[in-house]
Structure 1
Amino acid sequence: MLLQLAIIGILIALLPLSYVFVRGSRDKYRKLVWITAFLTLDLIMFGSFTRLTDSGLGCPDWPGCYGHSNPHAAMEPIAAAQTALPSGPVTHVKAWIEMIHRYFAMGVGVLIIALMVLAWVKRKELRQSPWYATGVLVLVCVQGAFGAFTVTMKLQPVIVVTHLMLAMGLLASLIWLGSRNEAPHAVAPRAAGLRWPGIVALTLLVIQIFLGGWVSTNYAVLACTDFPLCNGQLIPEMDFRHGFTLWRQLGMTADGNYIPHSALVAIHWVHRGFAFVVLGYLAWFALRARRLEGLTRHARWLLAVLALQLATGLSNIVFDWPLIAAVAHNGGAALLLILLLRLNYNIGLATRTAGAAAQPSVAARAT
């Protein structure tokens, strides 16, 4: 079974690898980084689709499905589980969704292995340490381990959220690596003044992504069924203690009782309230950044994706959590992360340029 799964992962990775290595371009490493980053974004969105369709336990073992490499070979145990619990987490459709997600993840893993090998082989030509690409491989291995824990620990919320945050961290690492391998371009020197605002914006977004993942994994999206109020109240009854207890089973409190609705309301309300803080700050940051050379394009995209996030977030409440809007909301969070990383990287270029320019001036004054 493990050999079959490995072959599937290699076959999935062959198409993007062929595109990179068969074409005559000399810049293979950079292209492989960006293709892997793009597929990682797709994987994050398909992961959200897997979670939102309640397919996370479509195959309740790991890495295969009832000891097989594909759900077709496991038709009998899947049918038995579906017959015993027709509304349960195991169905033929959910099993395929879960396994396609795993196949896709293995393909991305193969691409990152190829990326690391290429970084070591071409380390002199690339003129950068191959240890960064090696670190990305370590990160994807840790991510895979938490993917296994997600199944074996029956969708325990803190494990699922950690799996999500590691996926976002993997995407961020690939975006940063891709940015480092691009040709430097002009950035307005004044952009250096946005260094700390950019770091704050990125920090706020990471917190909000965690809160959004906590809402999703606890199925608290519809805990508040109206907007701008929450169940007809500005400040509803909320149970923060049970809502934000990290180590507990899905749908349960740490004491083993069913989680109260007020705890789900607390989870939803905190995410909703903090969203306005993040939305306001990121909009202010983007408006400042769009006036500066080298930041304009990414800043405009940031404003556009912020509008998309607001629309999809509200539609989840108003239209009772439509699947396409929920997946788009998860993808929008990843896009915001990409754009903020690109902006922070370019601001870093301006900061380094300003520092290099200041050194001759200091030396001249000393002379």
Structure 2
Amino acid sequence: MDAQSLYDLSPLARLMLMGVVVALGPLAWVWLRNRQASPARRLRALTLLTLFLTFDLVLFGAFTRLTDSGLGCPDWPGCYGNASPVGAHAEISAAQSAMPTGPVTHGKAWVEMIHRYLATGVGVLILTLAVTSWLQRKHNQGGVPISPWWPTATLVWVCLQGAFGALTVTQKLFPAIVTLHLIGGLVLLALLCAQAVRYSQAQDERVPVPLKPATRWLLGATFAAVVLQVTLGGWVSTNYAVLACNEFPTCQGSWWPYMDFRQGFELWRHLGMTADGEHIGFAALTAIHYTHRLFAYAVFVALGLLAWRLHRLEPLRTQARWIAGLALWQFATGLSNVVLDWPLVAAVSHTGGAAALVVVLTWSLFASRTALDTVSASNLSASRLSA
């Protein structure tokens, strides 16, 4: 396929229609269950459902990547210029006959296109959230008005995420772009989670839980560390470096195996190649894997400490339990990837655990506030009332 045919927009309208069809089910479910509810309650329900479906989309994206289906349809946004693999049957059959285990097969094409259908459906739901929030922006419940800016920012971000999805295909799984696409999905989860927390606070007339500055700092630092660790994990996965170390806790029989960090963390290069066009060395893959493993130890300790600190606060005990449970889940699935030779279930579960951690930490951040800020806000409100 030549460079000009990598982008074929002829099936775009049909794909958008497919996204509307995918979104109609969730929209109808929210409307039926919340017909008599307030606008804030309906927005909260739709945001939570969109968050859930976006989480599923991240998992299916991991499944797409791990089954090598990312190039199942080598053009964008359709499949050989068609809206589904059915219309591209001849082209896919020819590619599969020429290379039976290659990137293009009927099964891989369907996995890739289902991923695109789901992504388009989520985009329609986010567009609905943005439009509805603008229409209801003057509504006020519990003293907290509905802000259209969060859904608008989410809509802009999902459009950028779609662009990265297109580049993932047309740039032939360029590692930096694939990793950024993964991180973009997690940012989307965080944006939706933040909105869901705000709507819940508005509906229940709750204020953020005051935290001591040290605990609040620990929460923010742990969130940043998890994001960095997920980025490292994405770099491991997109470079297929998981099996560079197939034992634990050592790697290749050593506590410090031979590693090439310069080559391993050379960001702008094609898959399996260096920037100079040479094949990437095994020492580089080892450096990628072992860096992710070493940093995981620090993140695991930080998550444990954070869970212990939050568990001492009654309003945040649910988040504390989730953080502790997900930390253990990540340890178990990460270890399974190493000692069981990267089974698909463990690999997808590991990505799911990382996405869930981002959601729970975002939930904790927006459900809390530094105690000093809370006191200051209370004093300000009291001053205004007395005035």
Please confirm whether the aligned pair reaches a TM-score higher than 0.5, indicating the same fold: yes
Runs of 4+ in 1 over 3 A off after TM superposition: 184-193, 349-352, 357-363
2:336 aligns with one of 299, 315, 326: 315
- Displacement of 1:326: 0.5
1:14 Cα deviation (Å)? Answer: 0.3
Question: Shift of the alpha carbon at 1:343?
Answer: 1.2
* CA deviation after TM superposition for structure 1 residue 79, in Å: 0.8
Task: Compute the TM-score of the two structures, normalised by the length of structure 2.
Answer: 0.90
Match of residue 236 from structure 1: 257
- Report the alpha carbon displacement of residue 331 of structure 1 after superposing the two structures with TM: 0.3
Is the contact made by 1:41 and 1:334 (CA closer than 8 Å) also made in structure 2? yes
Corresponding position of 2:89 = 75
Aligned pair partner of 2:44 in 18, 24, 30:
30
The residue number in structure 2 matching 1:165 is 183
1:105-144 equivalences in 2 (<5 Å): 105-126=119-140, 127-144=145-162
Contact 1:187–1:350 (8 Å) recurs in 2: no
* C-alpha distance in structure 2 between counterparts of 1:303 and 1:20, whole Å: 32
Corresponding residue SS for 1:348: strand
Q: How many residues align?
A: 363
Post-superposition CA distance 1:96-130 (Å, at most 9, x none): 00000000000000000100010011001151331
* Letter matched to residue 234 of structure 1: W
Contact 2:30–2:45 (CA<8 Å) still a contact in 1?
Answer: yes
Q: CA deviation at 1:43?
A: 0.3
Please point out which of 17, 30, 42 is paired with 1:20. 30
Question: Counterpart of 1:253 in 2: which secondary structure?
Answer: coil
Q: Which amino acid aligns with 1:222?
A: L
Q: Distance in 1 between matches of 2:319 and 2:147?
A: 28
Alpha-carbon distance in structure 1 between the residues aligned to 2:354 and 2:60: 14
Q: Which structure 1 segments of 5+ residues have no match?
A: none
Correspondence for 1:7: 17
Change (3 A) 1:296 1:187: farther
Distance 1:188 1:41, change over 3 A: closer
TM-score normalised by the chain length of structure 1: 0.95
2:299 paired with 1:278: yes
Deviations 1:152-186 (A, max 9, x none): 00000000001111111111000001111113447
Q: Does 1:337 align with 2:347?
A: no
1:253-273: CA deviation from partner (whole Å, max 9, x where unpaired): 110011001100000000000
1:305-341 CA distances to partner (integer Å, 9 max, x unpaired)? 1111100000001111110110000000011111111
Deviations 1:228-281 (A, max 9, x none): 110111100101111101100001011001100110000000000000000001
The aligned amino acid for 2:317 is T
Task: Kindly indicate whether the alpha-carbon contact (under 8 Å) linking 2:208 and 2:366 is maintained by their aligned counterparts in 1.
Answer: no
**1:118 and 1:129, CA in 2 relative to 1: closer, same or farther beyond 3 A?**
same
Give the Cα–Cα distance (whole angstroms) in 2 for the partners of residues 219 and 55 of structure 1. 14
Mark the runs of 5 or more structure 2 residues left unpaired by the alignment: 1-10
| Match runs of 1:190-205 below 5 Å | 190-191=211-212, 193-205=214-226
Matched with 1:66 is 80
Which of 112, 123, 128 matches 1:98? 112
Residue 172 of structure 2 corresponds to: 154
In the alignment, which residue of structure 2 is the partner of 1:180? 198
Partner amino acid, structure 2, of 1:264: L
RMSD: 1.7
Tell me the distance in 2 between the aligned counterparts of 1:316 and 1:244: 22
The residue number in structure 1 matching 2:7 is none
Q: State the distance in 2 between where 1:329 and 1:129 align.
A: 34
Counterpart of 1:301, as a letter, is W
Q: What displacement does 1:356 show?
A: 2.7
